[in-house]
Structure 1
Amino acid sequence: MNLRTRTLIYAAMALVLLLLPLALSPVLGGDRLATHLIDRNEPPSWRHPFGTDWLGRDMFARSMKGLTLSLGVGLTAALASGFIAGALGLMAATMGKAADRFITWLIDLFLSVPHLVLLLLIAFVTGGGAKGVILAVGLTHWPSLARLIRAEILQLKHSEFVLISKHMGRSRMWIATRHLLPHLWPQFIVGTLLLFPHAILHEAAITFLGMGLSPHQPAIGIILSESMRYLSTGMWWLAFFPGLCLVMLVRSFDVLARSLHALIDPGRSQE
């Protein structure tokens, strides 16, 4: 089995794991999320694979709902952060030395501040909730990707095919659309995909600390925060299974992004 086939298999498996919560969430709603005091504190079983909580709610249904919420918030925040990174990276490389110095200083400023502190500060200022989490994650995850895009554009600007196009009288727009963008799309797509795991983990962290999604929503951060009070009583399944699902979701995004990078990387596409 060559590298390309193996990479396609890994990417397909990761995509299935990512789509699984979205497919199961509508099916597992309603009664499974309702309170059933007669079924409370049940350990994992065939009827309740992830057990039940102190209110008799099915933890498998709550975990799938929580992963769906994390996917939605992570998708929106990662796309917003990727757009900011692409725009600032492009401006830094094409709008002269003054813009380049300012954007480079801005990137260094954001990278120098402790990430979690900045996330909590923005989430607090914006009032928390889904809007606050999306703004906090979207406004703090762009610097590394922006620096990468800037460096890629600067390298491309001094490439032979770009210099030849300039000597032939091609316009900046023609060079940007025909030469720069085809080389930048793979970096942008993979970079944005790699933002997803960070966005999901930081969404869960902010929610866990009480500055994120509403406590009435079955978010993974809420589930983990509530379960901390019951671990000492032996109800280990309340934190173990949701935490495991979160790790698998994040790992699936990482595998999918790296597999996609291997498929579109010119140096490895023929392996």
Structure 2
Amino acid sequence: MTGEISSIDSTRPSIARVYDYLLGGKDNYAVDREIGDVFKRDLPGSVAIAFANRAALVRAVGEIVATTEVRQFIDLGSGLPTADNVHQVAQRQDPRARVVYVDTDPQVLVHGRALLEENDLTRVVPVDVRDPEAVRSHPDIVELIDFDRPVAVVFSAILHHVNDEEDPAGIVRYWHDQVPTGSHFFVSHFRSGNNAETAEAEKVLQGTFGRGRWRTDDEIESLLDGMEILEPGIVPASLWRSGAAERELTVWERLIAAGMARKR
């Protein structure tokens, strides 16, 4: 695989490592755990949110392989490997499935490449997701992904780390224009709750990482403009195709939304 891995900085919090901590992983440092504990305090449902988001992604990948002809996945801003990664879910159902993970966190690259050392159909690409042309032209993408066939593009809990001026909709639109009809897009995203509790949590996230914005359901849906948004639409991640009975959600459960769309 190509791409240089920068050194791991254990003195500054990493989005991927904080998320790993919230999921109960061990690939994190004290600085990440400190931030994770702040989230647990100021965002009491943060652990449940992390697991709900991950579970929705697993369901999406499983359904794509089970119900469509898509066997290629690009996971943008993939984060650290955990249980039931995209390639594991997809290749368990079809060993021919191809997966490319895209992330610039050096620890993600080290752990991902070690995990995938003997998996010829899965790669880790060290390119910033905010530069989609660089991702698209990376040799591993060019080699592994056939853009004449449908692709599943995954934006799992990444676009709320992209500022408005960095044009998150433009990033999605770029990939929409690269893939053929029948391709699928999965998005999960922090929702703007418009209340004091969630507004404070949003400030904590932005203050920690110095970037990002939570968005309304309409704004999240607009990221998928021009595509067919599949049932049940943009909904809380814990309810997205979960099979769970309708119930009243807590304010924290409503904070992370998920949805899937298909290119017409």
| TM-score (structure 2 length as normaliser) | 0.27
Query: Which has the higher relative contact order, 1 or 2, with Cα contacts under 8 A spaced 6 or more apart?
Result: 1
Bigger proportion of residues as strand: 2
Q: Give the TM-score taking structure 1 as reference length.
A: 0.26
